[in-house]
Structure formats: C-alpha cells, structure tokens
Amino acid sequence: MLKIEAVVRPERTSTVLEALTAAGVKGYSYWNITGKGQQEGVEVFTGRGGHLSHRVALPKTMIMTVIPDGMKDAVISSIVESARTGEEGAIGDGKIFVSQIEGATRVSTGEMGESTVM
C-alpha cells in the first residue's frame, strides 16, 4: 500500500476530494495546515490595522489517503488535474508525496491488509 500526502490550496479541497472518489479512492483524511514552498506568502495587516507585514507561509490543506499500489498513477494524476489552477498551473498549487505503508487495520472488524483500503 502507498500513502499519498497531497498539500493543496484550501479552496480546492472539495474538488480534489471529489476527484479522488471518482478515481476509486475509498477513504481519505484531511486537515488544515500552514505551508511554504515556492510561493512567497502574503501581506497581512498587523497590530491595529495601520500597516502590512509579510507572512511567509499560507493556509493549505493536507489530504492523506492510503491506496493499493496499483492505484498510484491514477490517484496522482487525478490530484494534479483537480488541484491545478489555471491552464498552466501556478505557484502554490501544491505538492504530492508518496511513501510506503506496511500495514493497515480496520478497527471495526480487525481486518488487515490491502482490502481495508479498497
């Protein structure tokens, strides 16, 4: 099994989640994070609202899903397509990391292995 961790723009979250489901993903988890990559942050008002300050990192959403090995390419491309903004994509659209998962257990049944994520 593989773990896919995708960092995407918060406003893209629903779109990406729908794309994942369309791609056959059965389960996912997501949460709010703050992140920095190539994107250079944002100007925000500080103190009593008289001047701007630079904030390096931005709100993002982390989407995590564990999938069978075979779904890797389909899942990654569905994320890329659904998370990309504009035709060309833009800085800040996000990143996807893939890693190995050794085991999975479904709590309700105690069932183990790949079937728990299919």
Partner 1 sequence: MDTGHIAWMLTSTALVLFMTPGLAFFYGGLVRGRNVVSTLMYSFIAMGVASIVWVLWGFSLAFNDASNFGWSGGLDYIGLAKIGTGNGELGWDIPDLLVAAFQMTFAIITPALITGAFVERFKFTTYLIFLVLWVTFVYAPICYWVWGGGWIGSLDGGTLDFAGGTVVHINAGIAAVAAAYLVGKRRNAGIEPHNVPFVVLGAAILWIGWFGFNAGSAGAANGTAVFAFVNTNTAAAIAAVTWALLSYIHTGRISGVGVATGAVAGLVAVTPAAGWVGVAGALAIGLGAGIICHYAVHFEILRKIGLDDSLEVFAVHGLGGIWGALATGIFAWGALTDSDGGLVNGNAGHFVANLIAVVATLAYSGIVSFIILFVLDKIPGLGLRISESDEDMGIDISSHGERGYVADGAD
Ligand X SMILES: Nc1ncnc2c1ncn2[C@@H]1O[C@H](COP(=O)(O)OP(=O)(O)O)[C@@H](O)[C@H]1O
Residue 90 makes CB contacts below 8 A (sequence gap 6+) with none
Tell me how far apart the alpha carbons of residues 11 and 38 are, in angstroms, rounded to a whole number.
19
Enter the tokens of residue 4: 């896919």
Residue whose structure tokens are 């904030």: 55
Rule CB under 6 A: say whether 75 interacts with ligand X: no
Tell me how far apart the alpha carbons of residues 56 and 25 are, in angstroms, rounded to a whole number.
33
Binding mask 22-61 for partner 1 (x = CB under 8 A): --------xxx-x-------xxxxxxxxxxxx-x-x-x-x
Closest CB to a second copy among residues 32, 46: 32
- Using a 10 angstrom Cβ sphere, with 0-12 exposed, 13-18 middle and 19 or more buried, the burial of residue 30 is middle
Which of 47, 87, 107, 110 is the binder for ligand X (CB under 6 A)?
107
Task: Identify residues 87-106 at the interface with a second copy (CB under 8 A).
Answer: 88-106
Rule CB under 6 A: say whether 99 interacts with ligand X: no
Binding mask 50-89 for a second copy (x = CB under 8 A): ------xx--x-x---x---------x--xx--xx---xx
Closest CB to a second copy among residues 52, 90: 90
Rule CB under 8 A: say whether 44 interacts with a second copy: no
67: β partners = 2
How many residues are recorded in the chain? 118
